[in-house]
Amino acid sequence: MKKQVYSCGIDYLQVMDEDGGIDLQLMPSIPDSKIVEMYKWMLFTRNLDAKTLSLQRQGRAVTYAPLVGEEASQIGVALAMRKDDVLAPSFRQHGIHIARGQPLDDYFIYWKGYEDGSKSARSINALAVCVPVGTQVPHGAGVAFAQRYMGKDAATVAYVGDGGTSEGDFHEALNFAGVYKLPLIVVIENNQWAISVPRKGQTAAETLAQKAVAAGIRGVQVDGNDVLAVYKAAADALASAKDGPTLIECVTYRMGMHTTADDPTKYRAEEEVNAWKARDPLRRVNLYLTSKGLWSSQLEQETTEQHQRQIDEAVERAEQFKPDPRGMFETLYSFMPDALKEEEDNAVSNNFWM
């Protein structure tokens, strides 16, 4: 005997097309003012990204992972999340941190290379920036487990890249969340590249969203450059999180280098990058809002200037930050072991051999 025991398909979601046209049937019921808010956050994120990149180029920030091109995949989720929802980020989600209220000073202190910049993660219900690829997703499952356990009306959003979906931790987390039907939303920020390895080099699967199928959870692919589609997918997943996890694949594009230590001309063609410019996540919202009389080039300029002032002031304050190396010792354990105290005293009395 032979019969089909399972079949599946993956939905693709786009609400706003590349020219700002709306699919009214899919349009989430939100006021236009919310779309203006989304646009402003995307613009802020882009301005912040450009500033950080230029600071890095001047030697005033450490190795930095730019997000230009991926604003919608972050802001759409950030604005769908509620305050009590928890974020388990990877290392490129600066937009969400900021839109969830991370103080800009801390953002810059982090990118100047100090742990102190991570202090405020707690206050915005975020876990720490996570560098080992994919390892944050199981944390997300654990946070979701705790939310369920404690009876909280909240969910967890874990981010991961296209490359990160190859890691065992990613699959283990989906599996864990699926078994217990945890309130976990895993967002794949599929920017088509993992450093020099293209999306097709990661998996033979047609979509990344279908990774949900084997875990027995919901999976959807969205136009990751369409902030409304991202928002809708996230809002739907959050609304039904009490029934179990959802995997959302945001199809977007890494317009910049992997990090400031990377040279993308070594492995990808300029034509590919150019082709994605037409699909820019800001451009389409700008067109939409302008056509509705809700945005203008004058507003764009004023807003950008205001952002830049805000950003520059934060940079100034971050420059005043005084590192305290004793923090390395003092915060390692919840108590101070004698042997470590001796190491610390020795370092302090020798002025850290500076």
Partner 1 sequence: MKVNMVGAINNALELAMREDDRIVILGEDVGRDGGVFRVTDGLIDKFGAKRVVDTPLEESGIIGASIGMALAGLRPVPEIQFAGFMLLAFSQLVNHAARYRTRTRGTMSVPMVVRTPVSGGVRTLEHHSDSPEALYSHIGGLIVIEPSNPYDAKGLLIKALRMQDPVIFLEPTKLYRLFKQEIPDENYEVPIGKANYMRKGNDLTIITYGTMAPLVQEVADKKNVSADVIDLRTINPVDEQTILESVKRTGRAMIVHEAELSFGVGAEISARIAEKAIFELSAPIIRVASPSIPYPFPGYEGFYLPNAKKIGDAIDRILSV
Ligand X SMILES: Cc1ncc(C[n+]2csc(CCOP(=O)(O)OP(=O)(O)O)c2C)c(N)n1
Which of these, 286, 291, 287, lies nearest to 303 by C-alpha position? 286
- Taking residue 57's Cβ as centre, other Cβ atoms within 10 Å add up to 11
Say how many Å lie between the first and final Cα of the chain, rounded.
77
Among 135, 165, 191, 252, interactor with Mg ion by CB under 5 A:
191
> Which member of 94, 254, 279, 284 is catalytic?
254
Contacts with ligand X, residue ranges (CB under 6 A): 92, 131-133, 161-164, 189, 191, 193-195, 254, 258
Q: Packing angle between helix 227-239 and helix 32-57, nearest 10 degrees?
A: 110
H helices of the chain, in order, are 32-57, 71-80, 94-99, 104-111, 136-149, 168-180, 211-215, 227-239, 270-277, 281-291, 297-319, 326-330, 338-349
Which of these, 162, 158, 159, lies nearest to 196 by C-alpha position? 162
x/- map, 55-84, partner 1, by CB under 8 A? -------xx---------------------
37 interacts with partner 1 by CB under 8 A: no
The token pair at 156 is 């967890």
Q: Is residue 251 a contact partner of residue 193, using CB atoms and an 8 Å limit?
A: no
161 interacts with Mg ion by CB under 5 A: yes
Find the shortest distance in angstroms from Cβ 124 to Mg ion: 24
Find the shortest distance in angstroms from Cβ 332 to partner 1: 5
Contacts of partner 1 in 170-199 (CB under 8 A): 194-197
Find the shortest distance in angstroms from Cβ 190 to Mg ion: 7
> 82 catalytic, yes or no?
no
The token pair at 163 is 């490359």
Among 92, 112, 218, 254, interactor with partner 1 by CB under 8 A:
112
Contacts of partner 1 in 300-329 (CB under 8 A): 323, 325, 328-329
Q: Which residues bind partner 1 (CB under 8 A)?
A: 62-63, 91, 112-115, 129, 131-135, 163-164, 166-169, 194-197, 201-203, 261-262, 266-267, 323, 325, 328-329, 332, 339-340, 343-344, 347, 350, 352-354
